[in-house]
Amino acid sequence: MWQKPPRQQRMKRVITFVLMAVISVANILPTQASSRIKDLVSIEGVRENQLVGYGLVVGLDGDGDSLRNAPYTEQSIIAMLERLGVNTRGATMKGENVAAVMVTASLPPFARPGNRIDVSVSSIGDAEDLRGGTLIVTSLKGADGEVYAVAQGSIQVSGFSAGGDASSVTQGVPTAGRIPNGAIVEKEIKYSMLGKKEILLSLHSPDFTTSNRVAKAINAKMGAKTAMALDPSTILLVKPDNYASNMVDLITDIEQLYVQPDQKAKVVVDERSGIIVIGHQVRVSEVAIAQGNLTIRVTETPQVSQPNPFGGGNTEVVPRSDIEIEGGEGKKFALLKPGVNLQELVDGLNALGIGPRDMIAILQALKVSGALHAEIEVM
């Protein structure tokens, strides 16, 4: 007769099962902070190509180019009408419903004739608003002068402009817009990977350590002579002799491998906006920091002095100046110990009670003193 196991034994079984499940999941999930090779590299030759074209936008309800200030718009209108069988040579044009625009697009890799791509439209004249406009057939050319796509369609503008006699309001940029799927690919860029025996992988962020780790991860999966790091940016990928599939299948097999990327210690600052980005590898030697600004604030409050009634004299403006001086009292030294990590560095700088712009100056001073072991990049 079957007997129910005691409670303690059942609990042990449950705990054992849970631990085994956790270990299994840990073996399946990638290491924290690791990234797929697919997200770290790009394949040589597989890239976008920039396209550009010149065209006309019609139907702008009086917000288009003034033909007197934009003669190229008038010339484009005459040329377009002549192609359609309308002769306007010598006629005086006063239309303001047309605008000359530049049309740009990115041709993605492996795009085939008939595929559609997005285009951006930007006014080059004095048009005030492109809302409601329609782009007329525009050829988009590559750097080689060949036509790779043709664009046409209604423009979508996110900005707007409105106003009256006394004031006006403008939000966004109403003189630029997009046409989703607005261009049809007419010519493809020939590129095939089927017959290749080797290919180059290019790291998005060149680094010796990351390049070596990517090569080792590929070799551990496919074989010892499949990948070789040529430099901090390039990995040579060679199809193994015993690999039955083509290069496309080989890339599919390796791009899901996880690699932990490495990076230089870097501090990125934008002095205009006060943005600071500090990498986790940044380290600081022992240093003491003090910050104090001398601020002088002068406020002018002029007053009007008027004479007494029937007393004679003139009305005069008497200047009144208030001067305030702040010497930065209350600021203290902050001691940063050697080898502090990112969190301790931020806490130490925040202890001074300073803003981002002063913090940028402190970081630059730390670099000059040799205490900051990182590269500072100013945007």
DSSP notation for 205-250: S--HHHHHHHHHHHHHHH-TTSEEE-SSSEEEEE--TT--S-HHHH
DSSP letter at 308? P
Contact 259, 213 (CB under 8 A): yes
Distant-in-sequence, close-in-space partners of 373: CB < 8 Å, separation ≥ 6: 265, 282, 283, 284, 285
Residue 57 burial class via C-beta count within 10 angstroms: exposed 0-12, middle 13-18, buried 19 and up? buried
In angstroms, rounded to a whole number, what is the distance separating the alpha carbons of residues 354 and 274? 12
Tokens of 118: 């997005």
Contact 307, 322 (CB under 8 A): no
Mind listing the pLDDT tens digit for each residue in 156-203? 988 666 666 556 666 678 899 999 999 999 999 888 887 788 999 999
Nearest to 57 by CA among 161, 130, 107, 5: 130
Model pLDDT, residue 76: 85
Model pLDDT, residue 217: 93
Nearest to 219 by CA among 234, 199, 200, 240: 240
In angstroms, rounded to a whole number, what is the distance separating the alpha carbons of residues 110 and 248? 13
In angstroms, rounded to a whole number, what is the distance separating the alpha carbons of residues 265 and 362? 17
244 beta partners: none
In angstroms, rounded to a whole number, what is the distance separating the alpha carbons of residues 114 and 275? 44
What are the residue ranges in the chain where pLDDT is below 70?
A: 1-33, 159-171, 289-302, 304, 308-313, 317-354
Model pLDDT, residue 22: 39
Tokens of 345: 């560095």
Nearest to 346 by CA among 272, 267, 271, 270: 267
Domain segments of the chain: what residues? 49-161+169-185, 198-259, 266-308+316-378
321 beta partners: 300
228 beta partners: 236
Model pLDDT, residue 336: 58
In angstroms, rounded to a whole number, what is the distance separating the alpha carbons of residues 255 and 266? 27
pTM, 2 dp: 0.64
Residues recorded for the chain: 379
In angstroms, rounded to a whole number, what is the distance separating the alpha carbons of residues 321 and 305? 16
